[in-house]
Amino acid sequence: MTIKLSDTAAVKVKELLTREAPEQDGLALRVAVQPGGCSGLRYALYFDDQIKETDQTADFGGVRVVVDKMSAPYLSGAEIDYVDTLQQSGFTIHNPNAQSTCACGDSFH
């Protein structure tokens, strides 16, 4: 898999998994690209237990990350991080494939 999850993001994902789904083993962080947003495509990050044979998977600090085969080309080389500052708090995605992005950073083309 060519997507990366920072150590900071992996810690935050583990924290969310523990808080939101403590009883569920086998959940992975699914990263996907879906149509929508003001620039044409938007990112989707969610927990998923339905892993397909065609999905790409990788482990980052004990967090399994899954990308479907349709999203993989759009996410190749992307880096997911977690920031917590006075101005911003949340997951960020730096994607070298994005030709343009919207002001919110959740949508790209």
Residue 42 has a pLDDT of 86
Mean of the pLDDT values across residues 43-69?
A: 95
The pTM score is 0.83
pLDDT category of residue 38 using cuts at 50, 70 and 90: low
Residue 106 DSSP code:
S
Write a three-state SS string for 12-64: HHHHHHHHHCCCCCCCEEEEEEEECCCCCEEEEEEEECCCCCCCEEEEECCEE
| CATH topology for the 4-108 domain | Hypothetical Protein Aq_1857; Chain: A; (2.60.300)
Parse the chain into domains and list their residue ranges. Answer: 4-108
Mean of the pLDDT values across residues 29-35?
A: 93
Tell me which of 9-13, 69-73, 74-78, 92-96 is least confident: 92-96
Residue 107 has a pLDDT of 46
Q: Which amino acid is at 17?
A: L
Task: Give how far the C-alpha of residue 12 lies from the chain's centroid of Cα atoms, to the nearest Å.
Answer: 12
> What SS3 class is residue 18?
helix
Residue 56's DSSP bridge partners are: 67
